[in-house]
Amino acid sequence: MVVQRAGAGGVRVQGVHGRTRYLLGIGEHSGMTVSIGSFRWDAQTLGTVARIFVLTVIIFYIDLITPLGLTVWILYLIPLFLTRYIRWKYAPFTAAGVFILLMGASFFLSPGDTTPLFAVLNRVFFSLVLVVTALFIWRFGQNVEELRLSEERYRYLTESSPDAKIVYSDGKILFTNPVGLRMFDVRSQDELIGKDIADLVDGSQKDLVSGKLKQAAMGVRIQVPGIRLARPDGHGVTVEMVLGGIIWDGKMAVQVILRSAGNG
């Protein structure tokens, strides 16, 4: 085992147990991170796992001391849905498998008020419910991950784009690439994020741009030539504005592409 300081008051512990490599990191700003093999869980994930464990123990205990069956088992859906917050794609199926095993154990350990056949059928039915629910949670997680990767690829592509690219939604800018910063003569995204694009164009064109943005938010692709930007330095820049729909953070947004058409 190796113990190292990790900066910012952090400590990192590394070691190997058998064939499994583990890493424990505790940092002042990042909190605690645990890596075991290919798993890497932060403090939030560890907290979710702890909640799932506690809820599972409580539900199993209630199942052992009461003959309520389905009324108790339905509570297993709560920790099952919590697996959505664990960044391991097999978490829902693992949890469902554990719950099914616990229901099987309760067949022998809990008091029964029905025939053995009916008790078995109940367990088979609810096991199918758990598996189907786990499948839905897994699929939802896959969709979210694909969306996150898609947004990362979009960010990567826009970094090298020769055009200014801006993501706009609900009356404010959410993202811009470096070309967009230069076109508006600002140094950081913080100077643009949260602002309305319509407030960054010539006052006489504000209503025009606002109307086009609303149309683009409904999925219409629009080209708007001759838009004059209102820059802080007072230096006029005329651009062609291309508007189109895009999915951003799981919601519909507008992609704004700005191409310089010369000085105003």
Name residue 187's amino acid.
R
| C-beta atoms surrounding 38 within 10 Å | 7
Q: Which of 189, 197, 238 is nearest to 217 (CA)?
A: 197
Q: What is the C-alpha to C-alpha distance for residues 181 and 195, in angstroms, rounded to an integer?
A: 13
Q: What is the C-alpha to C-alpha distance for residues 134 and 92, in angstroms, rounded to an integer?
A: 5
Query: What is the pLDDT at residue 237?
Result: 86
3-state secondary structure of 96: helix
Q: Which of 218, 209, 205, 211 is nearest to 244 (CA)?
A: 218
Could you state, in order of their start, the residue ranges of all structural domains in the chain? 1-37, 43-155, 163-263
Query: What is the pLDDT at residue 263?
Result: 56
Q: What is the C-alpha to C-alpha distance for residues 67 and 39, in angstroms, rounded to an integer?
A: 38
Q: What are 239's two structure tokens?
A: 């651009």
Handedness of CA 131, 132, 134, 138 (dihedral sign): positive
Q: Could you tell me if residue 162 is left (phi over 0), alpha (psi between -120 and 50 degrees) or otherwise beta?
A: alpha
pLDDT (tens place) for every residue of the chain, 264 residues total? 443 444 444 444 444 444 444 444 444 444 555 555 555 667 888 889 999 999 999 999 999 998 888 889 999 999 999 999 887 889 999 999 999 999 999 999 888 777 889 989 999 999 999 999 999 999 988 887 777 777 777 777 677 788 899 999 999 999 898 899 988 888 888 889 999 999 999 889 999 999 999 999 888 899 999 999 988 877 778 999 999 988 787 788 899 999 887 655
Cβ-contact 42, 85 below 8 angstroms: no
Q: What is the C-alpha to C-alpha distance for residues 98 and 72, in angstroms, rounded to an integer?
A: 15
For tokens 């694909």, name the residue: 146
The residues that bridge with 164 in the sheet, in sequence order, are 258
Q: What is the C-alpha to C-alpha distance for residues 74 and 76, in angstroms, rounded to an integer?
A: 5
SS (H, E, C) 49-77: HHHHHHHHHHHHHHHHHCCCCHHHHHHHH
Q: What is the C-alpha to C-alpha distance for residues 130 and 135, in angstroms, rounded to an integer?
A: 9
Q: What are 90's two structure tokens?
A: 């097999």
Packing angle of the helix pair 43-65, 91-109 (nearest 10 deg): 20
Tell me the CA distances in angstroms from 208 to 169, 175, 194, 204, one per residue in order. 17, 22, 20, 8
Query: What is the pLDDT at residue 46?
Result: 87
User: Over the Cα atoms of the chain, what is R_g?
Assistant: 27
Which superfamily does CATH assign the domain made up of 163-263 to? PAS domain (3.30.450.20)
